[in-house]
Amino acid sequence: MNRVLALVVISWGSSWPLSGAVAAPPAPNQVAHWPTESVQLQGGREVRGLIESEDDVWVRVIEIRRLPGRPMYLLIRSIDRASIAGVTRLEPDARAELRQRIDRFRNRSRIERGREEAVRLSLVTLGDTHFQQYRGKWFTFQSTVEEAMTRRLIVRVEQVFTAYRQVLPPRVTPSRPLRLVVYGSKDEYRGHLGRLGVDLHNPACFVCEDNLVLAGSELSRHAAQLAAVTAHHDQLRDELKRLEEEFAARLSALARQLQQEGKPKDQIRDLLTAEKAGFERRILAKQRELDSCDRRNEQLFDEATGRMLARLYHEAFHAYLENYVYPHGDYRVPHWLHEGLAMIFEGGLLESETLRVDAPHREALRQLQTELRGDDPLPLDELLTAGPQAFLGPEPVNRYYLYSWGLVYYLAFEKQLLGNPALDQYVRPPSPELSAPRRFEALIQMPLPAFEASWRRSILELQ
């Protein structure tokens, strides 16, 4: 097998960037459960999150919004007690856990910055190219991007490798080191592909023969703009910290002053409540400004890295599966399974070290449903027996990738087969007398025609 074919068999992937979508039941370990408190409102509506503070008039709640396939966000809600029908509170330990999670989420930019600063880099020269290099437990990372961006990319890739391990735990130690190389310009990336004799238009690829993941994007061009937004974020964070410190000191000083003036207790309470409300409005406004800055930072980063990172996650998953779970020397992972798994992880939402794949991708689902409703849907036995050449078709989105994604999504969410011993048995070298469809029937424990009918119904019913 030549180098190009060895790469394409494992690495071609879908041609759209996967990123989010419609509701579906979560697979184990993929959507971390957040314990929450709840405030039930008159009329039946419920607000879930953390009850942060309350007084005789207001209950202040940090509401958690975590919709399937969409990034999590928080809302600060002050709820009039007159509109409340009931309150459900957490036990102290669970409440403390929720508080820690919210604090980590709120301070994620600062935490990420700390992780980025802790990355140990060295400078290496390979040929005529200078790289920032990081040696981790799971991979070596080399980058021509400027240092701050390189650190950010390393933290992202470490997080996604943690997520891979949560879903499919490692079971083997690789015989050779895995290397990830990211270029700050597409010309550098294409130059490396050219030296390998590879003609490829994707922004990332896994060269199995060399145990090498390559990626390229115009990251260097965006570095200065991202640095400016990051500096503004730091300024806002300092302003918020000063406001919070001033808040506590001001309330304490005002309480002492009013007591010294001999004000009645009711009047002191009302004045302190008004002062507290004013400060909370200022803090909330600053928090919203900070959140807006964070969103702008993420938007700029996504604009610079979006498609490349999605493809990098896709190709890095191929590399992870090959190095740490099912190396091809000992296992026979079919092409449909390799690509379907990679496509699911390509479309995941990364929240800390949790990779959320709690929703199928809208465009993938739409196209697959169109295929299944058409006059010539792809039979599953043809997908199961497909070799590498089947995944090299000229279509803008190769139908074999669509069906691979849909089949793996169903097996993961409906059949809960990720990490299942049955899957381990399925990918072991098959007996010569056992065909691909028969092997698959042993995995799903039912005849293929019955399974195919159930699978099609499930895909077509997804909204």
Mean pLDDT of 63-91: 85
SS3 for 207?
strand
* C-alpha span between 133 and 140 (Å, rounded): 7
The domain 36-89 is placed in CATH, from the list 2.60.40, 2.30.30, 3.30.450, 2.160.20, at 2.30.30
Beta-sheet pairing, 73-80 with 179-183: unpaired
SS3 for 125?
strand
> Can you give the pLDDT at residue 394?
55
CATH code for the part of the protein at 3-28+119-220+303-461: 3.40.30.160
Q: What is the mean pLDDT of the chain?
A: 81
pLDDT digits (tens, 9 = 90+) for 82-113: 899 999 999 999 999 999 888 888 777 677 77
CA 301-307-312 angle, 5° bins: 95
135, 120, 14, 29: which is closest to 351 by C-alpha? 29
277, 151, 164: which is closest to 223 by C-alpha? 151
Does the pLDDT of residue 21 top 80, yes or no?
A: no
Sign of CA dihedral 79, 81, 84, 89: positive
% residues pLDDT > 70 (the chain): 83
pLDDT digits (tens, 9 = 90+) for 351-368: 766 667 667 777 888 999
Quickly count helices (H) and strands (E) in the chain.
14, 13
Assessment of whether the complete model's pTM goes beyond 0.85:
no
